[in-house]
Structure 1
């Protein structure tokens, strides 16, 4: 058993509460939860599996992680994944200089100056979750993901002291899902086939989610898979692979947030509007999502 703590510096301003709320509203029972200002989740690394928790330091200048892993874990790998999940190294000044010029976003930036793009521990997990979320609410997608974990996830134990009961399983691996009966959790056949195909593709090509790929290459590669279109591909690129210029142009929340007295823009018009946000379009998307949810 390996136990260690990490301190991850963050660039301020850093909106921990909003980030934690975003992750908490999408937390999959069995894999992750948010309790009392702390994020918990199970995880796999190349060396083992375990449970970790993350909170923010007093003063807000660092995130504090407590990690417990059976089979050993590389603190460098865990730290890198957590920096991605919590977007600790964003160049917030450059983002504000670019996005603050746009009338669609300037008010959102004043309301949430430290907003980050929440990442994901594992891009395969995020891609499965994105497919589960197609054409359903966040709550419905979360329910389906919880059923998937209960049916096909591997139990994990021996977390840090105080680990909540809600963290009990690892998210299913590609190997576990490739041949699984996914219809048993109430998943429509088309989405079940898409997840099976994604899992098989990951097994066939371990570099399917290679981080060095450009945004365009990533979207094109993912869209070749059954059941994955531009919205899903951009969402995976944004949160799973750290492409901060990803832009799901057809997203209803984005289009609704960009609506004016002249009407709601088309995806093509939204793309033209967001051209001025490059290379930080993903931050614009998060601001619009949260503003739309608060409206």
Structure 2
């Protein structure tokens, strides 16, 4: 099999990214074993699996496919999705320079060089996962995702499957009429939000196309039922390459800025974040990492 390289500008904090993906892997669709990320994917009406691992002798991630019938166009499309997911085109020097006018943020960047945004292989998949994660722990959201995949995902044919990789994540058409709340035993409002998201994707296939600005992207998402500003900014930062997205009123961000005299208010947080433009998403990533370090938790919520 041939490995396909995704070059990146060092430094690149693969261990931290792999740890996040480990905690957030949807059972049946994704696994992380010994630092190797693997997942299922769909190309046209066929299926495959892939694995991603850092190269040992070059600044690149290596991708290997197990996908009978995968043609060059489909392969290139999947590689483009992986570039977004693994933030391989980010410029860590530019991000660090943009955040370093704030001494506290400069210290966080210095302590965690090469921190990358865990992106999304598929924006619909990520947004469904974000809805499942509303008001529950990461572990609970992961269990719900596994049950969703088992109930509504498409089983892979034997020649495309791999250990623990058994299903493709459900597509919008598979969830638009599904009684997700009943099957997953979760609040009906969240089930309706997933159905509404699926319907919106079917009605507007470009729903997740990056908008001309952050405000347009967020407005498009918050127009959907069950998606508020926090979820919209979370999706924008992870799936839409909006480097200035910044989830408002996030408790983890506020905790990370508590220097012993108390957390900032929502208004105080947003005022402080003005100094981090146009890299507020990466500032949030560093603050979440700091909050996780203090609490011994994972890097990102949802």
**TM-score category (smaller protein):** over 0.9
1:103-118 matched pairs, under 5 angstroms: 103-118=103-118
TM-score (norm 2): 0.92
* CA distance in 2 between partners of 1:245 and 1:188 (Å): 32
1:258-277 matched pairs, under 5 angstroms: 258-277=257-276
1:145 equivalent in alignment to 2:150: no
**Partner in structure 2 of residue 200 of structure 1:** 199
Query: 1:144 touches 1:186 (CA, 8 Å); kept in 2?
Result: no
Query: 1:249 touches 1:268 (CA, 8 Å); kept in 2?
Result: no
1:184-206 Cα offsets, whole Å, 9 max, x none, are 11221110010011001111111
**Partner in structure 1 of residue 17 of structure 2:** 19
* CA distance in 2 between partners of 1:191 and 1:185 (Å): 10
TM-score (norm 1): 0.94
Mark the runs of 5 or more structure 2 residues left unpaired by the alignment. Answer: 295-302
1:136-170 Cα offsets, whole Å, 9 max, x none, are 1111111111110011010114348xx3x221111
Q: Secondary structure at the match of 2:104?
A: coil
**Partner in structure 1 of residue 135 of structure 2:** 135
State the shift of 1:78 in Å: 1.6
* CA distance in 1 between partners of 2:226 and 2:65 (Å): 36
State the shift of 1:100 in Å: 2.0
1:85-104 matched pairs, under 5 angstroms: 85-104=85-104
Query: 1:47 touches 1:71 (CA, 8 Å); kept in 2?
Result: no
Query: 2:211 touches 2:217 (CA, 8 Å); kept in 1?
Result: no
* CA distance in 2 between partners of 1:169 and 1:263 (Å): 46
Query: 1:174 touches 1:200 (CA, 8 Å); kept in 2?
Result: yes
State the shift of 1:60 in Å: 5.1
Number of aligned residues: 290
Query: 1:249 touches 1:271 (CA, 8 Å); kept in 2?
Result: yes
1:150-229 matched pairs, under 5 angstroms: 150-157=150-157, 158-159=159-160, 163=162, 165-183=163-181, 184-229=183-228
**Partner in structure 1 of residue 120 of structure 2:** 120
